[in-house]
Amino acid sequence: MAEKQGFTSSFGAIAAAVGSAVGLGNIWRFPYICGQYGGGAFLLVYLIFVFLIGMLLMLSEFIIGRRSQHSPIFAYESLSPHKAWRYAGLLGLITCFLILGLYLVISGWTTNYVFDSITGHLAGLSPDQLDSHFASFSSSALRPIIFIAIFLALTALVIIGGVQKGIEKVSKILMPVLVVLLAILCVRSVTLPGASAGLEYLFRPDFSKLTGEGILAALGQALFSLSVGMGVMIVYGSYIPNNDNLLKTSLWITVCDTLIAILAGIAIFPAVFACGQDPAGGPGLVFKILPAVFNSMNPESGLPFGTIFASLFFILLTIAALTSSISLLEAQVAWGSEYHPKHRTRHTLILSAIVLAIAAFCSLSNGVLSHLKVAGSTIFDLIDHINSIYLPPLCALLTVLFTGWVMPKSDIRDELSNHGSLRISYFGIYYFIIRYIAPLALLVVLVTGIINSLH
Ligand code: PHE
């Protein structure tokens, strides 16, 4: 049997996992829902969930992965006396697959916008023209699918390169590039005249806007942003070197992910305010409103380099999406490799073909197939709905129940302390949260989500 590959260094492991965590969730989704649910007040609740529940869930996934040295289905099966636990892994894998289908559609849009901004196709368009540009592009049949395929090909190439020479190497290069690009955009944004209104919008806590729904959204966003709850971090956990301190690794990833989400807000909102655009632009913020912001940075208005900043922004977004989709596809490929470790390329190609079909379906449901409805929703909306309300909290709940109630406490202690060589004075708090608080919080989110969606 071929030797199982893993990450070669702590930095490589952290870069790859940060790559998974930092994605469209940070740069596209976080800023707009943060603004929607009360800015600073939402941020506060989000931070509590990220560090109390999200990070400890990540730690649990790392424990399951590194202890078992397997991908989710086999990991659950090998660590539990009850074979039925393998279905928790299977559910995670299905969730990853569906998320990847949707993720590819939006990643295809970002790749198209890199092309459009570099070739100057967005320059000079008015907000209305940008709106119809987005609508006609996203509802057209062929073009979005071509860009999805280009993006997926990049993802697959990295996976075929392997865990060390593909995922680890690419993440070690792309993550620092992403930070530099984001820093440049932040500086540009906060130095625009009138930028302070954007910072105020993002950071001033307005508790009156924070509803129960906002609190649920904060927990959902925390899970999605940290890539936890569906087994991706179980796979990456199985690649983490044995002598790495798992708590430190999780802490680094959580801090980086959170900082990048906040920096994305700092890059976006001041620019939106400075250019007189609507900050509550919702999901279309990045594709419709931001190009308008960049257009107003042209030389005539005294604010230079609109096209350059637009291109930088969409390259940044595509890099972030790429390292996340790599982790989503790797979760599937790792499962195939359990059976045939030597056929990584074949697994990648087959799985890519299947997921391309799902993504193409989702993309077409924004246009030619929009009449095709299941329970009153288009395919895109249906998968989005299942993915945001039911599957991730359910998978996360199963993960915390597994570590809190099924795995022997001594095994968890052993894995966290690297077989007794590290002091783990935090163990009592971790165990208490993972056994009682996290399951309760996830159950509340799941049940409330289901009840709300039935109304
Ligand atoms: N965390 C990624 C983001 O913020 C999305 C993701 C979710 C990736 C789940 C992998 C697994 O965009």
pLDDT at 67: 97
What is the atom index within ligand 1 of the atom nearest the CA of 232? 11
Domain map of the chain by residue range? 10-454
Q: Across the chain, what does the average pLDDT equal?
A: 89
d(CA 20, CA 41): 26
Structure confidence at residue 3 (pLDDT)? 57
Query: Is the distance from the beta carbon of residue 227 to the nearest atom of ligand 1 less than 6 Å?
Result: yes
Average pLDDT over residues 193-199: 88
CATH for 10-454 is: 1.10.4160.10
Question: In the predicted model, what is the mean pLDDT of residues 337-348?
Answer: 90
How confident is the model at residue 424, as a pLDDT?
Answer: 95
Q: What is the mean pLDDT of residues 155-178?
A: 92
Q: Which pLDDT value is given to residue 441?
A: 92
Q: Is the pLDDT of residue 255 over 60?
A: yes
The number of the ligand 1 atom at minimal distance from the alpha carbon of 257 is: 4
Work out the percent of the chain whose per-residue pLDDT is above 90: 57
Q: What is the pLDDT of residue 104?
A: 96
For ligand 1, whether the C-beta of 327 sits within 6 Å is yes
Q: Residue 434's Cα: distance from chain center in Å?
A: 22
Token reading at 263? 């920096």
Rounded to the nearest 10 degrees, how much is the dihedral formed by the CA atoms of 213, 404, 48, 185? -90
* Amino acid (1-letter code) at residue 407: M
pLDDT category of residue 378 using cuts at 50, 70 and 90: confident
Label residue 333 by pLDDT band (50, 70, 90).
Answer: very high
Give the pLDDT confidence score for residue 1 in this predicted structure.
42
224 Cβ closer than 6 Å to some ligand 1 atom: yes
Integer Cα distance of 187 and 266 in angstroms: 9
Q: Percentage of the chain surpassing pLDDT 70?
A: 97
Average pLDDT over residues 227-255: 96
What distance lies between CA 145 and its chain's CA centroid? 21
Q: Which pLDDT score is estimated for 304?
A: 47
Q: Of the residues 227, 233, 260, 329, which should be mutated to test ligand 1's pocket, given the most ligand atoms within 8 Å of the CB?
A: 227
pLDDT digits (tens, 9 = 90+) for 86-107: 999 999 999 999 999 999 999 9
DSSP 69-117: TS-HHHHHHHH-S-GGGHHHHHHHHHHHHHHHHHHHHHHHHHHHHHHHH
- Locus of tokens 């991908």: 71
Ligand 1 close to Cβ of residue 23 (< 6 A): yes
Band of residue 247 on the pLDDT scale cut at 50, 70, 90: very high
Q: Is the pLDDT of residue 383 over 90?
A: no
Q: What is the pLDDT of residue 363?
A: 92
- Asked whether the predicted pLDDT for residue 22 surpasses 50, the reply is yes
Q: Report which ligand 1 atom has the smallest distance to the Cα of 328.
A: 10
Q: What residues form DSSP beta bridges with 39?
A: 205
Residue nearest to atom 6 of ligand 1 (CA): 227
Binned at pLDDT 50, 70 and 90, residue 85 comes out as very high
- pLDDT at 124 > cutoff 90: no
Q: How far apart are CA 139 and CA 154, in angstroms?
A: 23
Residue, of 50 and 290, whose pLDDT is higher: 50
CB 112 within 8 A of CB 415: no
The whole-number pLDDT of residue 298 equals 61
Does residue 254 register a pLDDT over 50?
Answer: yes
Give the global pTM: 0.92
293 vs 265 pLDDT, higher one: 265
Q: Given this model, what pLDDT does residue 299 score? A: 58
Q: What is the pLDDT of residue 301?
A: 54
pLDDT of residue 418: 96
- Alpha carbon of 14 to ligand 1 centroid (Å): 15
- What's the pLDDT band for 260 if we cut at 50, 70, 90? very high
Give whole-number Cα distances, 273 to 51, 54, 166, 188, 322, in Å: 30, 31, 40, 13, 29
pLDDT confidence of 300, banded at 50, 70, 90?
Answer: low
With a 6 Å cutoff on the Cβ, whether 99 touches ligand 1 is yes
Q: What is the mean pLDDT of residues 156-167?
A: 92
Taking residues 311-324, report their average pLDDT. Answer: 92
